Structure 1
Amino acid sequence: MTNDKTVQMEIEDFISSFLQRQFGETPLSVDAAIRNPFIAIHLMGFLLPGEKNLIKRKELKRVGQTRDLLLNGVKPEMFQELAAITGCGVKEIYADWNFEKESGLLIVVLDTEVDPASLIYPNDVSKEAIHEIVIRISKIAQKAPETIESYWLDDTVLLIERRGLMVEIEKELIKNGVVEELRLAKRPLEHRVLDFLKLEPVVKHEISDIFVDWNFEEDKAYMVLIMEAKLN
């Protein structure tokens, strides 16, 4: 299963109905980009009524914490349904949110091989330049990753995988069960650094959204750039 339009539509329809069923709200749009082993599901116009008042009061951390708890509670059903649609086992699901834009991203990691096409960069974009900036971002926020790889899921979605990021104090926090607190602290920090170190000149696209999430137990992180399509 790779970049199949029928599967893409089924995933988009499932996520829309799933969010409506679980949370009583349907996103204005759901767009899935698929290239094995990754699926990036971009949500636009998704904000729960109770969240709007909290966001007005600048309680973004509280909204993020509640979202994470809600999503963790329904992940088993998502795993099952997405596995049935794709015909592949689902290894992991990640999520990040931009509450000011009312957008979000779900990253699904399937139990299948990497599609070699995802490793091919556009002719006018330098993989080395992108990786260099991402390494600089990582150094500011924590430390340089031990390994880094990037995957084009389609012309406007770039997923970057980093491994070996955590410093010793973070490892100790994880051992003590301080996982959600660490995630909530790292998200805004990494987003601030991303805003400071501009990626648009090297990706040759206008970036409309950036999302990040971590698997702290495996010392792994994903960053996804959602870009505007180039005009012909």
Structure 2
Amino acid sequence: MTNRTVESVIASSVGKLLRDHFGKGPEAVFVTVAKPFITIYLRNFMAPMEKVLLDKDNDIKVQDTRDVLMEKLLPEINTILSSETGERIDHIYYDWALPNHSGVIFAEMDMETPVNQVDYDYPARATVHQEIDRITREAQKPPHNLKSFMLNTRTLFTRREDILVMIERELIENGFEEELRLAKRRLEKRLLNIDLLETELGQKIEDVFVDWNFDNDTGYMIFILK
């Protein structure tokens, strides 16, 4: 199958899975397969009860509820991705932009080609790296092996390693991984200089998503561009 066919099947299958379990699926699902990465961008994804909670500023409750459901769905999503791409999926991540009613699910395929040998180049890479390095230094410490990839005209994918500080490792060890994840998401998004990035990229940034693999000390940031 072509990439476009694979992306279409993944979009349909994941959209149905979310609809079956959340009661309301996303209005639109945009899938990008750019090996070794897969991104699934969800537009207008908000159940009626979640909207009520958001209106009452209970976004943490929405996040917690979604996390419980997603942990149940991740094995099924893994099966969909591995079946359609023919590749083993290393890990699946996700994040939400609740005010925009959007979200992203993304994954790395477990392929023989190292990420260091993958190159989806773009003109503003140096400035993007400077900004990601700056916010990582402010929030934690200088990142090692910072990489970024323009997977298509709308999806900028960044990956950085060795960013956790000792207090974060201690919190993870003591079972506060979820609290740490939510706090880090808010902090890193708040620190970003969006105006600078939009100027350098020549495009508006529609959404920013962040997640981590705490076991491997790897952080991801995805920008969805207009």
Fold shared by both chains (TM-score > 0.5): yes
Q: Determine whether 1:29 maps to 2:17.
A: no
Which amino acid letter does the alignment assign opposite residue 121 of structure 2?
Answer: Y
Aligned to 1:210: 208
Residue 19 to residue 33, structure 1, CA distance change in 2 (3 Å): same
**What SS does structure 2 have at the residue aligned with 1:96?**
strand
**Offset at residue 37 of structure 1 (A):** 0.8
- Aligned counterparts, 1:89-108, within 5 A: 89-108=88-107
Aligned to 2:15: 16
**Offset at residue 116 of structure 1 (A):** 8.9
Aligned to 2:119: 119
Q: Retained in 2: the 8 A contact 1:34–1:154?
A: no
Aligned to 1:78: 77
**Offset at residue 199 of structure 1 (A):** 1.4
Q: Retained in 2: the 8 A contact 1:174–1:217?
A: no
Which amino acid letter does the alignment assign opposite residue 216 of structure 1?
Answer: F
Aligned to 2:196: 198
Q: TM-score, normalised by structure 2?
A: 0.93
Q: Determine whether 1:186 maps to 2:174.
A: no
Distance in 2, Cα, partners of 1:140 & 1:190: 9
Gaps of 5+ in 1: none
Q: Retained in 2: the 8 A contact 1:161–1:220?
A: yes
**Offset at residue 35 of structure 1 (A):** 0.5
Q: Deviation per CA, 1:87-109: give whole Å up to 9, x if none.
A: 11111110010111100000111
Which amino acid letter does the alignment assign opposite residue 186 of structure 2?
Answer: P
Q: Deviation per CA, 1:104-130: give whole Å up to 9, x if none.
A: 0001111123689962423xx232211
Distance in 2, Cα, partners of 1:115 & 1:4: 20
Residue 212 to residue 129, structure 1, CA distance change in 2 (3 Å): same
Q: Retained in 2: the 8 A contact 1:143–1:166?
A: yes
**What SS does structure 1 have at the residue aligned with 2:212?**
strand
Q: Retained in 2: the 8 A contact 1:118–1:153?
A: no
Gaps of 5+ in 2: none
Distance in 2, Cα, partners of 1:175 & 1:167: 13
Q: Deviation per CA, 1:61-86: give whole Å up to 9, x if none.
A: 12112111210111111111211111
Q: Retained in 2: the 8 A contact 1:36–1:115?
A: no
Residue 140 to residue 78, structure 1, CA distance change in 2 (3 Å): same
Distance in 2, Cα, partners of 1:116 & 1:192: 28
Distance in 1, Cα, partners of 2:43 & 2:71: 20
Distance in 2, Cα, partners of 1:145 & 1:212: 15
**What SS does structure 1 have at the residue aligned with 2:209?**
strand
Pick from 132, 151, 154 the counterpart of residue 153 of structure 1.
151
Q: Retained in 1: the 8 A contact 2:154–2:224?
A: yes
Distance in 1, Cα, partners of 2:127 & 2:148: 12
Number of equivalenced pairs:
225
Distance in 2, Cα, partners of 1:136 & 1:115: 22
Aligned to 1:137: 135
Distance in 2, Cα, partners of 1:207 & 1:227: 4
Q: TM-score, normalised by structure 1?
A: 0.91
